Amino acid sequence: MKFCNLCGGPVALQIPDDDNRERHVCQNCDAIHYVNPKIIVGCLPTIEDRILLCKRAIEPRYGKWTLPAGFMENGETSADGAARETWEEAAAKAKDLVLYRIFDVPHISQVYLFYRCGIENDAFGVGPESLESGLFSADEIPWHQLAFPVVREILQEYLRDREQGEYPIRNTVIEYPRR
């Protein structure tokens, strides 16, 4: 950030009074500009024993399969955002959303929240960010064509949890790989 979005003045990194880390501070109006993590919300939609996946029509990972998910918007709850993403990517109306999975990814300043859900009237289709969508049983999941490692992890855990009949909320911190 180079300029204040309030007055247009120059911005500098400094530690404001009563703070403990550098922030972007306007040198004209003293406004403090906080840069906070992005929240990604999504669903693990199911119909009976099958899971709804979408094939990405956008980068990153164009042409790979994923769960419907994306950035949460201002003014919505995480569940509302997850349902919206499911509609936008799979033309499916999520119902009965239950928080299922949290990933903290501090090295890229992101938090992922995934909900288990059903689909209204078992209806789904393709949204503008997807090439196709489809229902997959456990033995049909395209494991080698999944877009993201977190999707693989969620699917593997879900299949194990389904066998147990219990769906605990899990939180994982994904650290930056050390070289």
- The mean predicted confidence, pLDDT, of the chain is 96
Residue 176: pLDDT band (50, 70, 90) is confident
What are the angstrom distances between the C-alpha of 33 and each of 28, 66, 76, 83? 13, 34, 22, 30
pLDDT digits (tens, 9 = 90+) for 32-76: 999 999 999 999 999 999 999 999 999 999 999 999 999 999 999
Which residues, 6 or more positions from 90, have their beta carbon under 8 angstroms from its beta carbon? 45, 52, 54, 68, 124, 125, 126, 127, 130, 133
Q: In order of start, what are the domains of the chain with their CATH numbers?
A: 1-35 (2.20.70.10), 38-173 (3.90.79.10)
Torsion of the alpha carbons at 144, 146, 62 and 90, rounded to the nearest 10: 140
What are the angstrom distances between the C-alpha of 23 and each of 27, 34, 35? 12, 6, 8
* Residue 178: per-residue pLDDT: 59
* Residue 161: per-residue pLDDT: 98
Once rounded to an integer, what is the mean pLDDT over residues 142-152? 96
Peptide bond into 10 cis (omega under 30): no
Tell me the CA end-to-end span of the chain in Å, nearest whole number.
Answer: 29
Once rounded to an integer, what is the mean pLDDT over residues 2-11? 96
* Residue 175: per-residue pLDDT: 87
pLDDT digits (tens, 9 = 90+) for 108-143: 999 999 999 999 999 999 999 999 999 999 999 999
User: Could you give the CA distance from residue 133 to residue 123 in angstroms, rounded to a whole number?
Assistant: 11
State the maximum Cα–Cα separation within the chain, in Å, rounded to a whole number: 61
Does position 179 have pLDDT exceeding 70, yes or no?
no
Please provide residue 139's backbone torsions phi and psi, each rounded to the nearest 5 degrees. Answer: -85, 0
* Residue 51: per-residue pLDDT: 98
Instruction: Read off the tokens for 54.
Output: 């979408």
* Residue 71: per-residue pLDDT: 97
